[in-house]
Amino acid sequence: MKKPYTLPLTEKRNRRTRNIDELSTLQIVDMINSEDMRVAPAVAKERKHIAAAIDLVVERFRKGGRMFYVGAGTSGRLGVLDASECPPTFGVSPRLVQGIIAGGHRALVRSVEGAEDHAEDGAAAIDSKNIKATDIVVGLAACGMTPYVHGALRRARRLGAGTVFVTCAPEAKKNIPADVIINPVVGPEVITGSTRMKAGTATKLVLNTITTSVMIKLGKVYGNLMVDLQAANEKLRDRSLRIVMEMTQLRRSQAKRLLARAAGRVKPAIVMHFRKVDLRGALKILDDCDQLLRKAIKE
């Protein structure tokens, strides 16, 4: 006997916004804002699962693994976005965190309808990345049912990779193949089924929390300063200089000379200052201290 179909929460109508088309512009803005206020508390309720995912990622990274986001539509774009922001923010290789989106690069700027419907394509995407047991795959699907994402997660599990799934549909949890499931329940959308709204915001918050926390635990941050940033433009060069000035209490001209001796790299520059060594010596100290700046300068 066929099981009755259960409509996911992300596809249900929101009773609070049924008359949104009759409201004034300001009332529409207020209504959307009031719905958005439900997102952060929903994410907060998943704090333990988010922490479990972070620890799983850190464990895999320390074994030389990589992380792959897999999603379709809005979820896929958010994964690619988060992955693309890790290298400039934390100075990591673009290979460490990667985004896979159904439909490929074209789907980043234009909807590719139907790309998410084939589980075998998700599995093939995983195969194309040569996934190993040290890697981790994070599935992203607001509705929790996207075949492309499920196909990718099932293949990743068979290969021994760690798996995490982020969804806003509580009904889907029992059918999700993942080690850790993160399920912020934000309720039906302002516009029925438009998961680029609350579900998208919740997903963005979760991904920000995961990668930021992972990088903190890997020593990419000192206090709340991004000491491993890549100074690829004028704004980031100025930020690098300000971080060195704040950490060392040097004047701007002195900090600029120190950064030049450190080939523009903030973390080694700080070690050079406190440990009175050259760049090669600073790099060795950092390696000996597992790249943890606090440990490197304390010792």
pLDDT in tens, 102-129: 998 888 887 777 788 889 999 999 999 9
Terminus-to-terminus CA distance in the chain, angstroms?
Answer: 68
Q: Using DSSP, how many helices (H) and how many strands (E) does the chain show?
A: 12, 5
Q: pLDDT confidence of 3, banded at 50, 70, 90? A: low
> Any idea how long the chain is?
299
Extended beta strands in the chain, E state:
67-71, 97-101, 136-140, 162-166, 180-182
The structure's pTM equals 0.91
CATH 3.40.50.10490 domain extents, the chain: 25-217
Q: pLDDT confidence of 298, banded at 50, 70, 90? A: confident
Higher pLDDT, 283 or 112: 283
CATH topology of domain 25-217: Rossmann fold (3.40.50)
Distance CA 294, CA 222 (A): 7
pLDDT higher than 70, residue 299: no
Average the pLDDT over each of 110-124, 200-214, 243-257, 260-274 and give the range with the smallest value: 110-124
Instruction: Quote the pLDDT of residue 294.
Output: 93
Catalytic residue among 85, 113, 234, 299: 85
Beta-sheet strand order (sheet of 67-71): 97-101, 67-71, 136-140, 162-166, 180-182
CB 214 within 8 A of CB 57: yes
Q: What is the average per-residue pLDDT within 230-235?
A: 87
Question: Is domain 234-298 in CATH 1.10.8.1080, yes or no?
Answer: yes
Mean confidence (pLDDT) of the chain: 93
pLDDT in tens, 21-65: 999 999 999 999 999 999 999 999 999 999 999 999 999 999 999
In this prediction, what percent of the chain has a pLDDT beyond 90?
Answer: 85
pLDDT higher than 70, residue 4: no
pLDDT higher than 80, residue 178: yes
CATH 1.10.8.1080 domain extents, the chain: 234-298
What DSSP state is assigned to residue 84? H
140: tokens are: 């992203």
Distance CA 259, CA 245 (A): 10
Instruction: Quote the pLDDT of residue 189.
Output: 94
pLDDT higher than 50, residue 1: no
Active site residue 116: yes
Distance CA 97, CA 140 (A): 14
Beta pairing class for 67-71 and 136-140: parallel
Within 10 A of 111 (CB to CB), how many other CB atoms are there? 12
Catalytic residue among 46, 116, 120, 246: 116
